[in-house]
Protein backbone atom coordinates (compact mmCIF):
# COMPACT_ATOMS: atom_id res chain seq x y z
CA UNK A 1 0.00 0.00 0.00
CA UNK A 2 2.89 2.36 0.77
CA UNK A 3 4.37 1.58 -2.65
CA UNK A 4 1.01 2.24 -4.30
CA UNK A 5 0.71 5.64 -2.63
CA UNK A 6 4.26 6.82 -3.41
CA UNK A 7 5.02 5.37 -6.88
CA UNK A 8 3.44 6.43 -10.16
CA UNK A 9 3.68 9.13 -12.83
CA UNK A 10 5.26 11.17 -10.05
CA UNK A 11 7.10 9.73 -7.07
CA UNK A 12 6.28 11.20 -3.66
CA UNK A 13 8.41 10.97 -0.54
CA UNK A 14 7.29 9.91 2.95
CA UNK A 15 7.09 13.53 4.13
CA UNK A 16 4.71 14.48 1.31
CA UNK A 17 2.54 11.46 2.08
CA UNK A 18 2.46 12.34 5.77
CA UNK A 19 1.47 15.93 5.04
CA UNK A 20 -1.24 14.84 2.59
CA UNK A 21 -2.80 12.42 5.05
CA UNK A 22 -2.37 14.24 8.36
CA UNK A 23 -1.60 17.88 7.55
CA UNK A 24 -3.42 18.60 4.28
CA UNK A 25 -2.26 21.92 2.82
CA UNK A 26 -4.15 21.96 -0.49
CA UNK A 27 -1.03 21.50 -2.62
CA UNK A 28 -1.05 19.48 -5.84
CA UNK A 29 0.90 16.63 -4.23
CA UNK A 30 -1.44 16.48 -1.24
CA UNK A 31 -4.50 16.49 -3.50
CA UNK A 32 -3.18 13.71 -5.73
CA UNK A 33 -2.17 11.55 -2.77
CA UNK A 34 -5.37 11.99 -0.77
CA UNK A 35 -7.94 11.88 -3.59
CA UNK A 36 -6.31 9.59 -6.19
CA UNK A 37 -3.52 7.47 -4.73
CA UNK A 38 -5.03 6.67 -1.31
CA UNK A 39 -8.41 5.33 -2.56
CA UNK A 40 -6.79 2.95 -5.03
CA UNK A 41 -4.25 1.85 -2.39
CA UNK A 42 -7.23 0.82 -0.22
CA UNK A 43 -9.51 -0.59 -2.95
CA UNK A 44 -6.81 -2.74 -4.62
CA UNK A 45 -6.09 -4.95 -1.57
CA UNK A 46 -9.80 -5.20 -0.74
CA UNK A 47 -10.59 -6.44 -4.25
CA UNK A 48 -7.57 -8.76 -4.36
CA UNK A 49 -8.42 -10.32 -1.01
CA UNK A 50 -12.08 -10.72 -1.93
CA UNK A 51 -11.41 -12.39 -5.27
CA UNK A 52 -8.66 -14.60 -3.82
CA UNK A 53 -10.92 -15.94 -1.06
CA UNK A 54 -13.79 -16.36 -3.52
CA UNK A 55 -11.44 -18.40 -5.72
CA UNK A 56 -10.59 -20.76 -2.85
CA UNK A 57 -14.26 -21.51 -2.23
CA UNK A 58 -15.10 -21.88 -5.93
CA UNK A 59 -12.27 -24.36 -6.52
CA UNK A 60 -13.37 -26.46 -3.55
CA UNK A 61 -17.07 -26.41 -4.45
CA UNK A 62 -16.36 -27.40 -8.05
CA UNK A 63 -13.44 -29.69 -7.04
CA UNK A 64 -11.56 -28.16 -9.95
CA UNK A 65 -8.20 -26.38 -9.57
CA UNK A 66 -8.71 -24.33 -12.75
CA UNK A 67 -12.05 -22.92 -11.61
CA UNK A 68 -12.37 -19.30 -10.52
CA UNK A 69 -15.00 -16.55 -10.40
CA UNK A 70 -13.96 -15.79 -14.00
CA UNK A 71 -14.21 -19.29 -15.44
CA UNK A 72 -17.52 -19.89 -13.66
CA UNK A 73 -18.96 -16.71 -15.15
CA UNK A 74 -19.46 -14.90 -11.83
CA UNK A 75 -17.51 -11.81 -12.90
CA UNK A 76 -19.47 -11.68 -16.15
CA UNK A 77 -22.76 -12.09 -14.29
CA UNK A 78 -21.90 -9.30 -11.86
CA UNK A 79 -20.78 -7.06 -14.74
CA UNK A 80 -23.97 -7.73 -16.69
CA UNK A 81 -26.10 -6.92 -13.65
CA UNK A 82 -24.26 -3.61 -13.15
CA UNK A 83 -24.55 -2.63 -16.82
CA UNK A 84 -28.26 -3.49 -16.96
CA UNK A 85 -28.96 -1.65 -13.71
CA UNK A 86 -27.03 1.41 -14.91
CA UNK A 87 -28.30 1.66 -18.49
CA UNK A 88 -31.82 0.26 -18.26
CA UNK A 89 -32.96 1.14 -14.73
CA UNK A 90 -30.80 4.21 -14.15
CA UNK A 91 -29.19 2.94 -10.95
CA UNK A 92 -26.31 5.26 -10.13
CA UNK A 93 -25.70 4.99 -6.40
CA UNK A 94 -22.62 3.13 -5.24
CA UNK A 95 -24.63 1.07 -2.76
CA UNK A 96 -27.17 0.19 -5.44
CA UNK A 97 -24.48 -0.95 -7.88
CA UNK A 98 -22.76 -2.99 -5.15
CA UNK A 99 -25.97 -4.80 -4.27
CA UNK A 100 -26.75 -5.32 -7.96
CA UNK A 101 -23.30 -6.80 -8.64
CA UNK A 102 -23.60 -9.18 -5.67
CA UNK A 103 -27.07 -10.27 -6.85
CA UNK A 104 -25.75 -10.82 -10.39
CA UNK A 105 -22.92 -13.00 -9.11
CA UNK A 106 -25.30 -15.00 -6.89
CA UNK A 107 -27.80 -15.63 -9.69
CA UNK A 108 -25.00 -16.65 -12.06
CA UNK A 109 -23.53 -19.12 -9.55
CA UNK A 110 -26.95 -20.68 -9.00
CA UNK A 111 -27.57 -20.94 -12.75
CA UNK A 112 -24.18 -22.57 -13.41
CA UNK A 113 -24.53 -25.19 -10.68
CA UNK A 114 -28.23 -25.82 -11.48
CA UNK A 115 -27.46 -26.45 -15.16
CA UNK A 116 -24.52 -28.70 -14.23
CA UNK A 117 -26.65 -30.69 -11.76
CA UNK A 118 -29.44 -31.08 -14.32
CA UNK A 119 -27.00 -32.17 -17.02
CA UNK A 120 -25.81 -35.25 -15.17
CA UNK A 121 -24.00 -34.18 -12.02
CA UNK A 122 -21.51 -31.66 -10.64
CA UNK A 123 -18.43 -32.95 -12.43
CA UNK A 124 -15.48 -30.51 -12.41
CA UNK A 125 -15.16 -30.34 -16.20
CA UNK A 126 -18.90 -29.85 -16.73
CA UNK A 127 -19.07 -26.99 -14.23
CA UNK A 128 -16.17 -25.14 -15.88
CA UNK A 129 -17.54 -25.65 -19.40
CA UNK A 130 -20.95 -24.33 -18.37
CA UNK A 131 -19.33 -21.43 -16.51
CA UNK A 132 -17.22 -20.43 -19.52
CA UNK A 133 -20.33 -20.59 -21.72
CA UNK A 134 -22.33 -18.41 -19.32
CA UNK A 135 -19.41 -15.97 -19.10
CA UNK A 136 -19.25 -15.67 -22.89
CA UNK A 137 -23.00 -15.13 -23.08
CA UNK A 138 -22.90 -12.46 -20.36
CA UNK A 139 -20.03 -10.60 -22.02
CA UNK A 140 -21.84 -10.67 -25.37
CA UNK A 141 -24.98 -9.17 -23.85
CA UNK A 142 -22.88 -6.48 -22.16
CA UNK A 143 -21.32 -5.54 -25.50
CA UNK A 144 -24.74 -5.37 -27.18
CA UNK A 145 -26.14 -3.13 -24.44
CA UNK A 146 -23.16 -0.78 -24.52
CA UNK A 147 -23.20 -0.62 -28.32
CA UNK A 148 -26.82 0.54 -28.28
CA UNK A 149 -26.19 3.00 -25.43
CA UNK A 150 -23.34 5.18 -26.60
CA UNK A 151 -23.80 7.63 -23.75
CA UNK A 152 -22.87 4.91 -21.26
CA UNK A 153 -20.17 3.34 -23.43
CA UNK A 154 -17.34 5.69 -22.46
CA UNK A 155 -18.35 5.65 -18.80
CA UNK A 156 -18.39 1.86 -18.49
CA UNK A 157 -15.84 0.65 -21.06
CA UNK A 158 -12.72 1.36 -18.98
CA UNK A 159 -14.50 0.08 -15.87
CA UNK A 160 -15.28 -3.21 -17.65
CA UNK A 161 -11.56 -3.74 -18.30
CA UNK A 162 -10.93 -3.75 -14.56
CA UNK A 163 -9.18 -0.80 -12.98
CA UNK A 164 -8.53 0.99 -9.70
CA UNK A 165 -8.02 4.39 -11.34
CA UNK A 166 -10.20 7.38 -10.34
CA UNK A 167 -12.15 5.39 -7.77
CA UNK A 168 -13.52 7.48 -4.87
CA UNK A 169 -12.95 6.38 -1.30
CA UNK A 170 -16.73 6.04 -0.95
CA UNK A 171 -16.47 2.85 -3.05
CA UNK A 172 -14.25 1.27 -0.41
CA UNK A 173 -16.54 2.50 2.36
CA UNK A 174 -19.59 0.96 0.64
CA UNK A 175 -17.92 -2.17 -0.72
CA UNK A 176 -15.73 -2.93 2.29
CA UNK A 177 -18.56 -4.22 4.52
CA UNK A 178 -19.62 -6.70 1.83
CA UNK A 179 -16.03 -7.99 1.63
CA UNK A 180 -15.86 -8.30 5.43
CA UNK A 181 -19.15 -10.25 5.59
CA UNK A 182 -18.04 -12.54 2.75
CA UNK A 183 -14.70 -13.23 4.44
CA UNK A 184 -16.40 -13.92 7.79
CA UNK A 185 -18.75 -16.41 6.12
CA UNK A 186 -15.83 -18.11 4.37
CA UNK A 187 -13.94 -18.51 7.64
CA UNK A 188 -17.06 -19.87 9.36
CA UNK A 189 -17.38 -22.50 6.60
CA UNK A 190 -13.67 -23.43 6.58
CA UNK A 191 -13.98 -26.75 8.48
CA UNK A 192 -16.95 -28.05 6.43
CA UNK A 193 -15.04 -27.11 3.27
CA UNK A 194 -12.15 -29.31 4.44
CA UNK A 195 -14.51 -32.29 4.40
CA UNK A 196 -16.05 -31.32 1.03
CA UNK A 197 -12.71 -31.58 -0.75
CA UNK A 198 -13.35 -35.32 -1.19
CA UNK A 199 -16.98 -35.77 -2.30
CA UNK A 200 -20.49 -35.03 -1.06
CA UNK A 201 -21.05 -38.57 0.25
CA UNK A 202 -17.91 -38.50 2.38
CA UNK A 203 -18.74 -35.03 3.68
CA UNK A 204 -22.30 -36.09 4.56
CA UNK A 205 -20.93 -39.15 6.34
CA UNK A 206 -18.80 -36.84 8.49
CA UNK A 207 -21.90 -34.89 9.50
CA UNK A 208 -21.50 -31.93 7.13
CA UNK A 209 -24.81 -30.38 5.94
CA UNK A 210 -23.63 -30.26 2.33
CA UNK A 211 -26.56 -28.30 0.90
CA UNK A 212 -26.41 -25.61 3.59
CA UNK A 213 -22.64 -25.30 3.25
CA UNK A 214 -22.93 -24.97 -0.51
CA UNK A 215 -25.61 -22.28 -0.17
CA UNK A 216 -23.48 -20.42 2.38
CA UNK A 217 -20.50 -20.54 0.04
CA UNK A 218 -22.64 -19.29 -2.85
CA UNK A 219 -23.66 -16.29 -0.76
CA UNK A 220 -20.09 -15.65 0.41
CA UNK A 221 -18.64 -15.91 -3.11
CA UNK A 222 -21.40 -13.67 -4.47
CA UNK A 223 -20.75 -10.97 -1.87
CA UNK A 224 -16.99 -11.10 -2.43
CA UNK A 225 -17.23 -11.13 -6.23
CA UNK A 226 -20.08 -8.63 -6.44
CA UNK A 227 -18.40 -6.09 -4.15
CA UNK A 228 -15.12 -6.47 -6.02
CA UNK A 229 -16.77 -5.95 -9.41
CA UNK A 230 -18.71 -2.95 -8.11
CA UNK A 231 -15.49 -1.35 -6.82
CA UNK A 232 -13.08 -2.11 -9.66
CA UNK A 233 -14.87 -3.87 -12.50
CA UNK A 234 -14.11 -7.46 -13.48
CA UNK A 235 -10.42 -7.87 -12.54
CA UNK A 236 -9.59 -11.12 -14.29
CA UNK A 237 -7.88 -14.28 -13.02
CA UNK A 238 -7.07 -13.11 -9.48
CA UNK A 239 -9.39 -15.84 -8.21
CA UNK A 240 -7.48 -18.41 -10.27
CA UNK A 241 -3.89 -17.52 -9.39
CA UNK A 242 -4.20 -16.69 -5.70
CA UNK A 243 -5.65 -20.01 -4.39
CA UNK A 244 -2.77 -21.96 -5.92
CA UNK A 245 -0.23 -19.71 -4.21
CA UNK A 246 -2.13 -20.01 -0.92
CA UNK A 247 -2.16 -23.83 -1.06
CA UNK A 248 1.57 -23.92 -1.78
CA UNK A 249 2.21 -21.68 1.22
CA UNK A 250 -0.05 -23.24 3.88
CA UNK A 251 -1.46 -26.54 2.59
CA UNK A 252 -5.04 -27.75 2.17
CA UNK A 253 -6.62 -26.64 5.47
CA UNK A 254 -9.19 -24.03 4.54
CA UNK A 255 -8.80 -22.02 7.72
CA UNK A 256 -5.22 -21.28 6.71
CA UNK A 257 -5.95 -21.20 2.99
CA UNK A 258 -8.54 -18.46 3.31
CA UNK A 259 -6.28 -16.22 5.41
CA UNK A 260 -3.32 -16.81 3.08
CA UNK A 261 -5.48 -16.18 -0.01
CA UNK A 262 -6.70 -12.91 1.48
CA UNK A 263 -3.17 -11.69 2.19
CA UNK A 264 -1.66 -12.91 -1.07
CA UNK A 265 -4.61 -11.59 -3.09
CA UNK A 266 -4.25 -8.16 -1.51
CA UNK A 267 -0.52 -8.06 -2.33
CA UNK A 268 -1.02 -9.45 -5.85
CA UNK A 269 -3.72 -6.94 -6.82
CA UNK A 270 -1.76 -4.01 -5.37
CA UNK A 271 1.46 -4.97 -7.15
CA UNK A 272 -0.47 -5.47 -10.41
CA UNK A 273 -1.92 -1.98 -9.95
CA UNK A 274 1.57 -0.52 -9.50
CA UNK A 275 2.87 -2.42 -12.55
CA UNK A 276 -0.06 -1.15 -14.65
CA UNK A 277 1.25 2.40 -14.21
CA UNK A 278 4.51 1.60 -16.05
CA UNK A 279 3.67 -1.07 -18.67
CA UNK A 280 2.80 1.52 -21.33
CA UNK A 281 4.18 4.58 -19.50
CA UNK A 282 3.18 7.42 -19.45
CA UNK A 283 -0.29 6.01 -20.24
CA UNK A 284 -1.75 3.73 -17.61
CA UNK A 285 -2.96 0.23 -18.52
CA UNK A 286 -6.08 -1.33 -16.96
CA UNK A 287 -5.02 -3.54 -14.07
CA UNK A 288 -7.36 -6.23 -15.41
CA UNK A 289 -5.09 -6.56 -18.44
CA UNK A 290 -2.07 -7.21 -16.20
CA UNK A 291 -3.83 -9.84 -14.09
CA UNK A 292 -5.29 -11.43 -17.24
CA UNK A 293 -1.84 -11.89 -18.78
CA UNK A 294 -0.43 -13.44 -15.60
CA UNK A 295 -3.55 -15.55 -15.08
CA UNK A 296 -3.54 -16.75 -18.69
CA UNK A 297 0.04 -17.95 -18.35
CA UNK A 298 -0.78 -19.74 -15.07
CA UNK A 299 -3.86 -21.34 -16.65
CA UNK A 300 -1.82 -22.68 -19.58
CA UNK A 301 0.76 -24.13 -17.15
CA UNK A 302 -1.98 -25.81 -15.10
CA UNK A 303 -3.62 -27.27 -18.20
CA UNK A 304 -0.28 -28.61 -19.44
CA UNK A 305 0.33 -30.27 -16.05
CA UNK A 306 -3.12 -31.87 -16.21
CA UNK A 307 -2.46 -33.11 -19.74
CA UNK A 308 0.85 -34.59 -18.62
**Domain co-membership, 23 together with 52:** no
Query: Mean pLDDT, to the nearest integer, of 71-76?
Result: 85
Domain that holds residue 6: 1-32
The predicted structure's pLDDT at residue 295: 81
d(C-alpha 303, C-alpha 299), whole Å: 6
CATH code for the domain of 97: 1.10.3470.10
More confident residue, 149 or 291: 291
**Domain co-membership, 88 together with 182:** yes
Sign of the alpha-carbon torsion through 46, 48, 49, 54: positive
**Domain co-membership, 25 together with 164:** no
Query: Mean pLDDT, to the nearest integer, of 286-290?
Result: 84
* Closest by Cα among 91, 224, 193, 69 to 135: 69
d(C-alpha 175, C-alpha 47), whole Å: 9
**Domain co-membership, 140 together with 2:** no
The predicted structure's pLDDT at residue 159: 65
37, part of any domain: no
**Domain co-membership, 208 together with 268:** yes
Distances from the Cα of 290 to the Cα of 97, 157, 228, 287, angstroms: 25, 17, 17, 5
175, part of any domain: yes
Calculate the dihedral angle through the C-alpha atoms of 177, 183, 187, 193, rounding to the nearest 10 degrees: 140
Checking 97-102 for CB contacts under 8 A at 24+ apart, the result is 97/230, 98/174, 98/175, 98/178, 98/226, 98/227, 98/230, 98/231, 99/226, 100/226, 100/230, 101/225, 101/226, 101/227, 101/229, 101/230, 102/78, 102/178, 102/222, 102/223, 102/225, 102/226, 102/227, 102/230
The predicted structure's pLDDT at residue 39: 93
More confident residue, 111 or 299: 111
Query: Mean pLDDT, to the nearest integer, of 60-67?
Result: 84
The predicted structure's pLDDT at residue 150: 67
User: Among 25-39, 72-86, 292-306, where is mean pLDDT lowest?
Assistant: 292-306
**Domain co-membership, 109 together with 149:** yes
More confident residue, 76 or 266: 266
**Domain co-membership, 18 together with 99:** no
The predicted structure's pLDDT at residue 64: 82
Q: What is the mean pLDDT of the chain?
A: 86
User: Among 8-12, 123-127, 190-194, where is mean pLDDT lowest?
Assistant: 123-127
pLDDT tens for residues 19-35?
Answer: 888 888 888 888 889 99
Query: Mean pLDDT, to the nearest integer, of 229-244?
Result: 87
The predicted structure's pLDDT at residue 38: 93
d(C-alpha 262, C-alpha 274), whole Å: 19
Query: Domains in the chain: how many in total?
Result: 2
Helix (H) or strand (E) holding 7: none
38, part of any domain: no
**Domain co-membership, 65 together with 17:** no
The predicted structure's pLDDT at residue 154: 64
**Domain co-membership, 138 together with 13:** no
**Domain co-membership, 159 together with 219:** yes
The predicted structure's pLDDT at residue 155: 63
**Domain co-membership, 138 together with 260:** yes
268, part of any domain: yes
39, part of any domain: no
**Domain co-membership, 237 together with 194:** yes
d(C-alpha 184, C-alpha 203), whole Å: 22
Query: Mean pLDDT, to the nearest integer, of 56-76?
Result: 86
The crossing angle, in degrees rounded to 10, of helices 38-62 and 210-232 is 150
pLDDT tens for residues 199-236?
Answer: 778 888 888 898 899 889 888 988 898 888 888 888 88
Q: Phi then psi for 283, rounded to 5 degrees?
A: -80, 145
**Are the beta carbons of 175 and 46 closer than 8 angstroms?**
yes
Amino acid sequence: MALSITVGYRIYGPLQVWQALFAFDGSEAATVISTLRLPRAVIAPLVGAGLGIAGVQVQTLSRNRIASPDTLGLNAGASLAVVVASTVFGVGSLMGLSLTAALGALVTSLVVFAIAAGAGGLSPIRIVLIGVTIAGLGQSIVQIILTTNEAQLQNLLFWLAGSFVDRPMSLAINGGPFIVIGVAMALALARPLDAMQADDETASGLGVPVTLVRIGCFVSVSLLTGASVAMAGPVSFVGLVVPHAARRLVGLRHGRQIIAAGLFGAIYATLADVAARFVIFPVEAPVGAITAVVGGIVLVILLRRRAA
